[in-house]
Structure formats: structure tokens, C-alpha cells
């Protein structure tokens, strides 16, 4: 059996979680999807699953209780989590914010796309995982922009 990849999405928007999960299921590859409704729930999940961490964490920036930027810092400062792939997944996109997120260790910054582009983005991320090429890019390639087919 092929390796199963585990994605977790931390996002307080139920519609965004629904479409994200739907897009993952369309990949037709062995994947597991988990979600957290906010940053506090995400960090509780990671701490409870420290020996079986997800392959990729997708973080919305604007969440209640603990936002994505706070989670990113907490993840990257924790020796158990610091090597995890963290992808910012947000509606906002400001270069100054992207600079800070990049400096704090995020792997990519994806502006929340339409559903069809989301499928393409997730396929791209999964391909990079399979090929073991999901390292941190140079800053000029940090904002991942894929156009709809």
C-alpha cells in the first residue's frame, strides 16, 4: 500500500474546511484529513499526537483564541514540531505579513483560491511530498500561486 499522507487544516470557517476536505478526497491518493477549529485546538491536537504528527499543517491566519501566526511561532519554537511543514492558507495577502511568516519558518503562503484551484494546489503539495521536495523555498517563491486549469 502507498504511504498515507496526513493533512490538518486549522480554520474556523466551516465552509473552508468542507471544501478543503472535498478537494483532498478528489486526489484519489491515500490521505488522511483532520481539522481544528482554531489555533488552541490545533496545538492541543499536535501535543496529543506528538508521536504521529501530520505531514502538513495548513494554517488560516485569522482564527479566534489563537491565530495562525501565533501557532506558527509556537510550532517552530517547539523542538518536537519545528521540522513540520506549515503552509499558511489565508484570504489575506500582504507582503509585510508574508515576510514575517517566512522569517518565522512557514514553508508556503497560499491565498485561499476557488475550489478548482484548491484541488490543483493540494495536488501540487502532495506531489512535492511524494517526491520529498517540500522544503522551504527562497522568499520569492514563498507565495504559491497556481492558476485554475
Number of Cβ atoms within 10 Å of the Cβ of 38: 19
Q: State the pLDDT at residue 125.
A: 77
CA–CA separation, 134 and 119 (whole Å): 17
**pLDDT average, residue stretch 10-20:** 89
25 exposure class (CB count in 10 Å sphere: 0-12, 13-18, 19+): exposed
Q: For the chain, what is the domain count? A: 1
Question: Residue 113's beta-bridge partner residues?
Answer: none
Residue 141's Cβ-side half-sphere holds a number of Cα atoms within 13 Å equal to 6
Look up the domain containing 44 and give its range: 5-141
104 close to 78: Cβ distance less than 8 angstroms: no
Is pLDDT above 60 for 55? yes
Positive or negative torsion for Cα 120, 123, 128, 134? positive
- Mean pLDDT is lowest, of 47-56, 61-70, 118-127, for 118-127
Distance CA 39, CA 65 (A): 7
| Residue 146 falls inside a structural domain | no
Residue 106, domain member (yes or no): yes
Q: Could you report the per-residue pLDDT of 65-118, keeping only the tens digit for each?
A: 899 999 999 999 999 998 899 998 887 767 778 888 889 999 888 887 777 788
CB distance 59 to 68 below 8 Å: yes
Q: Give a yes or no: residue 148 inside a domain.
A: no
Which CATH number do you get for residue 61? 3.40.50.2300
Tally the residues of the chain. 149
Q: Comparing 48 with 3, which gets the higher pLDDT?
A: 48
CA nearest neighbour of 29 among 148, 129, 136: 129
Contact 109, 131 (CB under 8 A): no
- Residue 147 resides in a domain: no
Is 115 a member of any domain?
yes
Average pLDDT over residues 121-148: 72
Tell whether the model's pLDDT for residue 14 goes beyond 80. Answer: yes
In a domain, 50, yes or no: yes
Domain membership flag for residue 44: yes
Q: What is the pTM of this model?
A: 0.86
Residue 46 domain-assigned (yes or no): yes
Query: Is residue 23 a contact partner of residue 122, using CB atoms and an 8 Å limit?
Result: yes
pLDDT digits (tens, 9 = 90+) for 19-53: 888 888 887 777 788 999 999 999 999 999 999 99
The more confidently predicted of residues 28 and 15 is 15
More confident residue, 66 or 148: 66
Amino acid at each position: 500500500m502507498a504511504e498515507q499522507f496526513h493533512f490538518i487544516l486549522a480554520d474556523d470557517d466551516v465552509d473552508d474546511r468542507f471544501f478543503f476536505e472535498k478537494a483532498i478526497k478528489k486526489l484519489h491518493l491515500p490521505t488522511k484529513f483532520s481539522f481544528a477549529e482554531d489555533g488552541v485546538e490545533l496545538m492541543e491536537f499536535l501535543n496529543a499526537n506528538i508521536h504521529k504528527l501530520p505531514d502538513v499543517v495548513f494554517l488560516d491566519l485569522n482564527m479566534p483564541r489563537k491565530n495562525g501566526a501565533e501557532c506558527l511561532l509556537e510550532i517552530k519554537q517547539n523542538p518536537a514540531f519545528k521540522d513540520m511543514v506549515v503552509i499558511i492558507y489565508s484570504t489575506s495577502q500582504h507582503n509585510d505579513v508574508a515576510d514575517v511568516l517566512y522569517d518565522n519558518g512557514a514553508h508556503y503562503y497560499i491565498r485561499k483560491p476557488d475550489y478548482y484551484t484548491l484541488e490543483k494546489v493540494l495536488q501540487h503539495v502532495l506531489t512535492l511530498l511524494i517526491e520529498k521536495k517540500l522544503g522551504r523555498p527562497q522568499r520569492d517563491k514563498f507565495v504559491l500561486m497556481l492558476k485554475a486549469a
